[in-house]
Structure 1
Amino acid sequence: MSVKKEIFGIHPSGKEVYKFEIVNKQGMKAVITNFGAILISLFVKDKKGNFQDVVLGYDSLEEYLDNHPMFGATVGRNVNRISNAKFELDGKTYLLDKNRGNHNIHSDKEHGFHKVIWDFEITGENSVCLSYLSCDMEQGFPGKVYIKMTYTLTETNGLILSYFATPNKRTILNVTNHTYFNLGENIFSTEFCIHAKSFTPVDEDIIPTGEIREVKNTPMDLTKYSYIGDRLNANYHQLQIEKGYDHNYVLDHPHTGFRLIAQTRSMKSGIHMDVYSDMPGMQFYTSNSLKNTIGKNGVVYKKYDAFCMEPDYFPNAINTKGFEKPIFDSNKNFISTTMYQFY
């Protein structure tokens, strides 16, 4: 196991940005940058013994500086949507950037966690710890927040993402990673299984309605391994809104800690990925908005070429009755762990 550091590019501020390569004894390799705490590449062995890069991304820092679709990004302070780009906390209304119509998505597309340079520390032979101090009212959220995010590559081919954030006052924290995975050709050659008997339906703006609906007897049911290609055109309104999945699943056993929450496998490559998390929900997204984006090695990324599995608190939870609120303070830290296990 080893960690290699090299310069990835020069930020417009003049600061050097680095990338880190972690390689285990099996040859699996994770490539990370301290710009946005982004996962750039993840090389996993396929059924033929060849290593495939199973995540979407860019070759250069300059491309990540542009308004990219969150490839591999650490998202915060709040992932996903907040209706009308505002929320109330302790009797005060906070206004956020209206960056998706009248609403807010992923906090701030220009000043979010994915657009800042993180401090770094190589912690042993298999992990990189990234840290950032978010100032009071940064992105429109109250309180200072010191966050540490650690990438760890195991000898058993697991990539662990650990989050630890400490605010100095009551605020919202809902942090996750927005990696786009491609285990084979596209989502049509991939089977999905999500350990969730319910999901949160959305309106035309992809804002949860507040309902928690059972997946049984609907195209949202992924409780058993399923191909989803034939479901994208199903006569089911939730899938017609964006012609794909962009939904929060209400995960089984939400208060039992770190557990298996989802599984995927590609028959084309033979690569399997299991997802573990301690979060109550997971956003499942089938790259419905990708539009011929040129990525690593000149590859053109198209609609449905990849999928995201983002463990988190439910979207718009702060404004929705009945949803667990992602509110933290100096006596309650945000702590979460996700693992992507490959075999």
Structure 2
Amino acid sequence: MSFSSTHVTQEAFGEIRTSDGIQPVTQFTLTNPLGVKVQFITYGASVTNVFVPNKKGELHDVVLGFDDMAGYLKHENPYFGSTVGRVANRIAKGHFNLNGIEFQLAKNNGDNHLHGGTVGFDKVVWQAYAHRDGRITFTHSSPHMEEGYPGHLFTQVTYTLTDSNELIIDYRALTDRPTPVNLTNHSYFNLAGHNAGSQQLLNHHIQLCANQYTPVDSGQIPTGRVANVDGTVFDLRSETLLKDVIAKIPGGGYDHNFVINDSKNKFDNKLPLVAKIWHSESGRIMELFSDQPGCQIYTGNGFPADGSLVGKGGTVYSTHAGLAIEAQNFPDAINQPHFPGSVLQPGEVYHRTIVYKFGTQ
């Protein structure tokens, strides 16, 4: 692992109108000596493009997204590449009790709360700082009771692109009152290319370091059980071709949280391997490492089938066009006492890391 040679540039990407006036949105580009390029915008501290080589050395963009702010501001934007919080995933009925106080959040996913609410971290303009060593740090200050959450939360997300084609995402947060926190990145990958379509996504292989998963009800809220994957379509511990299993999954695809094992395969001797995906035709491989206890696998089941979701270069993103692999805490952890704790206390530092490592075979 090395960090020394990454080059950073920035340019205007657009603007948004808020109650405080017009806010500019900036795009940053990190490029390493191998030509691998990752781009981000200050809106949602979002990953917009990831250009990595195939087995022939040809660079293609492998994450779904939009060309301009108009796309990211559309209602149907499915969190492409964004930093989601203050709490990623779902909270049942948008409600929780913390230290004897009841809190009601926005219900923006049926009867439940999803990815931080109506105006979560994905829908605000973050402050950005470009480091001399080629890292980009985004910061956001979320005031007490924003979207119904207690406490003033200061959040920092730092992106690093290494000379070894690793994208490292480092999350840190501080609060002045107890509050639930669960941060992740919501990029959708298609290693055949962002515009390759669902057929190529289904030709991906996936392997997941998880012996268990958390079953859900009809609203995608965990039932409270932690079930073994043995003998089910959720057993992805060995190499699995997506098209061989996707039709067998209730709901038309994965949208489930898996309990991550403490794998012996670690990044920098610290972060366990969570998942590996690869696409044989292009030869691209992506490994995901993280210290998060769970991982949500989502196969884009909810993408519209009518061609209305149009992304980069006029590409229509239809059902199963991309795969989101979200290393995070378990859904609804704030309401499930036996799930990993999700409450950040004053004086503590929330610190989690996700690494996407790209290669070829």
User: Would you say same fold, with TM above 0.5?
Assistant: yes
Equivalent residues of 1:210, 1:321 under 8 A apart? no
2:226 to 192, 196, 212: 212
Note if 1:319 corresponds to 2:324. Answer: no
**TM-score when scaled to structure 2?**
0.91
1:176 aligned to which of 168, 180, 184 = 184
- What is the match of residue 76 of structure 1? 85
Equivalent residue for 2:203?
189
Number of positions where the alignment pairs a residue of Structure 1 with one of Structure 2 = 337
Q: Work out the CA distance in 2 between the residues paired with 1:335 and 1:139.
A: 22
CA separation in 2, counterparts of 1:279 and 1:72?
A: 18
- Map residues 240-259 of structure 1 onto 2, 5 A cutoff: 240=250, 242-253=251-262, 258-259=271-272
CA deviations on 1:3-54 (whole Å, 9 max, x unpaired) are 0110001221312110001000000000000111000000000112111100
Q: Distance in 2 between matches of 1:108 and 1:60?
A: 23
Pick from 86, 104, 108: which aligns with 2:113? Answer: 104
Cα deviation, residue 136, structure 1: 0.2
- SS, match of residue 22 in structure 2: coil
2:314 pairs with 289, 292, 298, which one? Answer: 298
In the alignment, residue 222 of structure 2 is paired with which amino acid? P
8 Å contact kept, 1:118–1:132: yes
* SS of residue paired to 2:189: coil
Q: 2: distance between equivalents of 1:224 and 1:86?
A: 37
Q: CA deviation at 1:100?
A: 1.2
Deviations 1:258-293 (A, max 9, x none): 211110100121100000000100001101011131
Do structure 1's residue 26 and structure 2's residue 34 form an aligned pair?
yes
Q: Secondary structure at the match of 1:233?
A: helix
Measure the CA separation in 1 of the matches of 2:302 and 2:219.
14
User: Where do 1:3-14 residues align within 5 Å?
Assistant: 3-12=8-17, 13-14=21-22
Matches within 5 A, 1:142-153: 142-153=150-161
Distance (whole Å) between structure 1 residues aligned to residue 34 and residue 133 of structure 2: 14
* TM-fit CA distance, 1:107: 1.7
Counterpart contact for 1:148–1:163, Cα < 8 Å: yes
Matches within 5 A, 1:214-229: 214-229=228-243
Corresponding residue for 2:3?
none
Does residue 323 of structure 2 align to residue 310 of structure 1? no
Matched-pair contact (CA < 8 Å) for 1:87–1:95: yes
Q: Percent identity?
A: 36
Rounded Cα–Cα distance in structure 1 between residues aligned with 2:242 and 2:218: 21
Q: Does structure 1 residue 2 correspond to structure 2 residue 10?
A: no
> Which of 37, 43, 48 pairs up with 1:35?
43
Q: CA RMSD in A?
A: 1.4
- Alpha-carbon shift at residue 187 of structure 1 (Å): 2.3
Is contact 2:203-2:242 (8 Å) kept? no
After superposition, what is the alpha-carbon deviation per residue over 1:93-141, rounded to whole angstroms, capped at 9, x for unaligned?
Answer: 10011111111111213x1101111111001242110001000001110
2:167 equivalent among 145, 153, 159: 159
TM-score, length-scaled by structure 1: 0.96
Partner deviation per Cα, 1:296-327 (whole Å, 9 max, x = no partner): 01011111111011111100011113111210
List alignment gaps of at least 5 residues for structure 2: 1-5
Distance 1:307 1:124 in 2: 33
- CA deviation vs aligned residue, 1:228-269 (integer Å, no higher than 9, x gap): 2122222xxxx21x2110000000029x95211110100121
**Secondary structure class of the residue paired with 1:14:** strand
CA distance in 1, matches of 2:245, 2:25: 42
State the distance in 1 between where 2:45 and 2:69 align.
12
Give the AA of the match of 1:123. H
Task: Give matches, 1:55-70, under 5 Å.
Answer: 55-67=63-75, 68-70=77-79
Deviates more, 1:197-206 or 1:124-133: 124-133
CA contact (8 A) 2:63 2:190 kept: yes
AA at the equivalent of 2:16: H
Counterpart of 1:328 in structure 2 is: 344
Supply the distance in 2 between the matched residues of 1:217 and 1:10 (Cα, whole angstroms): 50
The answer for the alignment partner of 1:86 in structure 2 is: 95
The one-letter code of the counterpart of 1:272 is I
For residues 101 and 14 of structure 1, the distance between their equivalents in structure 2, rounded to whole angstroms, comes to 31
Aligned partner letter, 2:280: M
1:190-227 alpha-carbon deviations (Å, 9 max, x no partner): 00001000000111111111111111111111101110
Q: Does 1:286 align with 2:302?
A: no
Q: Which amino acid aligns with 1:215?
A: V
SS in 1 for 2:122: helix
Contact 1:24–1:126 under 8 Å retained in 2: no
SS of equivalent to 1:62: helix
